[in-house]
Amino acid sequence: MLIAKPSLPSEFLVDNRVYTDPNVFDLERERLFLRVWNFVCHASEVRTPGDFLTTTVAGQPVVVCRTKSGEIRAFFNTCRHRAAQVVREESGNAAAFTCFYHLWTYDLDGNLTGLPEADTYATSYCPGGLDKSATSLVRIRAETMHGLVFVCFDDAMPSLAEFLGAEFSAELAAPLGAPDVRVERDWAKLLRANWKMEPENSRDGYHATLLHKRLRGVSPPRPFRLFPNGHAVQHLGLDYTAGKDAGTLDGILAEQPELAERFMADPLPGMTLAAPSRIITIFPDVLIAIRYSTLLIVKQIPLSTGETWFETRYAYVARDSQEQIDIRRKHWGMYWAEDGGNLPEDWEAWEAQQIGARSIGVRYSLLSRGEVADEGMRGDDNRVRSFWAEWRTYMGTTENAPPASAG
């Protein structure tokens, strides 16, 4: 029943078991997510001392906060006493963190500052009592580039600046690095698809105008470039007039065509008509999509081989009036609203992929579109192949397939 493997080089094929094998998922946590720099938030989400948010990275509970001195720090969200989750709120502002179980209290630098009945810890086997300096919250490496905050569990991993690289980092500076940019989480959703579906999709220009009718004529491709460490950028045009002439605009603009001028009237900081849009993909799974006056950040939390928690964020400018924010949100929603736009169409495709990938009759997917290139006017499958090349490096395998150690 199994169809023969296509006669292509291994880097042009994906063994579909990588989407469905739980052993592969476990190895990805161990070899990839516990080593790589993982995006957690934008600095504006923890803007003032005491601001915090909680998240999960590689299955690990994490709390990120702004200290009194203005630093951004991250800790394992685990009490040093009996391992309870210390901070249970999704976000907020606090002078200190107190574990609800036994009321152990930690300051914003993670230091244990108080515990009830401390004298009971002075015993014959511990005459000096509990060593508070040895029971602080465990710190995680946290670094920021152009407002994007990342954490890393591997002390041997090079710095975030080295991981991103100077040339690629420059693509993030506008608008994310502008001091008056604000980023907020909008909505989150559980998807019944493997986490790799999103980074493949965000690097795949082939589907863009085939699956998403609203992009036909509106968003012509401009130069793309692959960067070291699996990152990539695709520059795009933005021309609503062409979309209107082609009759492909739908949703908000089909109902309110006058909004097109308003969408283009107030660019985000640093955005220009010369490069109004771009798709930025940070390895392994972060998508930043910029369309002149609006911006999307996608953050994923892989839960299992077939379930992924999908978070979206949008940007505005601190000086914006409520009307300006509303216009940016409408522009954002045209592409990325939960109940319309491109993303629901993508989800449907990913969940269909997840079902189809279980087939024992079709073992391989193809990555063979286009000539191999690191830059040019069309990305074809090069950005997707770049993702898989980096995946292979972390997973310790020469094929886009379950490593031998995956069982």
Instruction: Give yes or no for a contact between 334 and 328, defined as CB atoms under 8 angstroms apart.
Output: no
**What is the C-alpha to C-alpha distance for residues 236 and 310, in angstroms, rounded to an integer?**
24
User: What distance in Å separates the CA atoms of residue 388 and residue 407, rounded to the nearest whole number?
Assistant: 20
Q: Where are the alpha helices (DSSP H) in 186-272?
A: 197-202, 208-211, 240-246, 252-255, 259-263
- pTM of the model as a whole: 0.96
**Over residues 169-177, mean pLDDT:** 95
Q: What is the mean pLDDT of residues 345-356?
A: 97
Average of pLDDT values for 63-86? Answer: 98
Q: Give the span between the Cα atoms of 40 and 55, in whole angstroms.
A: 7
Residue 246 has pLDDT above 80, yes or no: no
Question: Which of the pair, 282 or 130, is modelled with greater confidence?
Answer: 282
As a whole number of Å, the end-to-end CA separation of the chain is 23
Mean pLDDT on 121-150 = 93
For range 215-220, the mean pLDDT: 86
Residue 406 confidence (pLDDT) above 80: no
pLDDT (mean) for 62-77? 98
**Phi and psi based region of residue 144 (left: phi greater than 0; alpha: psi -120 to 50; beta: remaining):** beta
Q: Is the pLDDT of residue 214 over 80?
A: yes
What pLDDT is recorded for position 58? Answer: 97
Contacts of 395 (CB under 8 A, 6+ apart): 27, 28, 31, 32, 403
pLDDT at 225: 97
Average pLDDT over every residue of 168-182:
96
**Res. 19: pLDDT tops 80:** yes
Q: What is the mean pLDDT of residues 230-239?
A: 95
Q: Place 362 in a pLDDT band, splitting at 50, 70 and 90.
A: very high
Q: How far apart are CA 227 and CA 100, in angstroms?
A: 46
Give the percent of the chain with pLDDT over 90: 85
Which of 172, 233, 168, 187 minimizes the C-alpha distance to 379?
Answer: 233
Average pLDDT of the segment spanning 94-121: 96
- Tokens coding 8: 């292509």
Q: Provide the edge-to-edge strand list for the sheet that holds 72-76.
A: 38-42, 148-152, 139-145, 72-76, 60-66, 51-57, 91-93
The first and second tokens of residue 289, run together, are 């999509």
CA atoms of 136 and 19, how far apart (whole Å):
39
**pLDDT given at position 244:** 78
The region, left, alpha or beta by phi > 0 then psi within -120 to 50, assigned to residue 360 is alpha
Residue 400 banded pLDDT, cuts 50, 70, 90? very high
Report whether pLDDT(253) > 80: yes
Q: Give the tens place of pLDDT for each residue, 270-327.
A: 999 988 999 999 999 999 999 999 999 999 999 999 999 999 999 999 999 999 999 9
- Under 8 Å between Cβ of 274 and 154: no
Distance between CA atoms of residues 37 and 284, nearest Å: 9
Confidence of residue 354 (pLDDT cuts 50, 70, 90): very high
Give the helix/strand (H/E) hosting 160: helix 160-164
- Mean of all residue pLDDT scores within the chain: 95
Dist CA 54 CA 64 (whole Å): 6
pLDDT above 80 (res 2): no
Q: Could you tell me if 108 and 67 are in contact, meaning their C-beta atoms sit under 8 angstroms apart?
A: yes
Q: What is the CA radius of gyration of the chain?
A: 23
Question: How large is the average pLDDT for residues 9-20?
Answer: 97
The predicted pLDDT at position 236 comes to: 93
The average pLDDT across 183-190 equals: 95
Residues 398, 14: contact at Cβ < 8 Å?
Answer: no
Between helix 342-356 and helix 322-336 the angle, nearest 10°, is: 30
Reference 347, options 214, 189, 183; nearest CA is 189
| pLDDT more than 70, % of the chain | 99
Structure tokens at 378: 């069309």
Strands, E, within 67-212: which ranges?
72-76, 91-93, 97-98, 105-106, 112-114, 139-145, 148-152, 181-191
CA 214 to chain CA centroid, nearest Å: 24
Report DSSP letters for 42-63, one per residue: EGGGG-STTEEEEEEETTEEEE
1: confidence class by pLDDT, cuts 50, 70, 90: low
Query: Phi and psi (nearest 5°) for 224?
Result: -115, 160
The closest of 64, 69, 71, 60 to 87, measured between CA atoms, is 64
User: What are the structural domains, with CATH classification, of the chain?
Assistant: 38-144 (2.102.10.10), 167-395 (3.90.380.10)
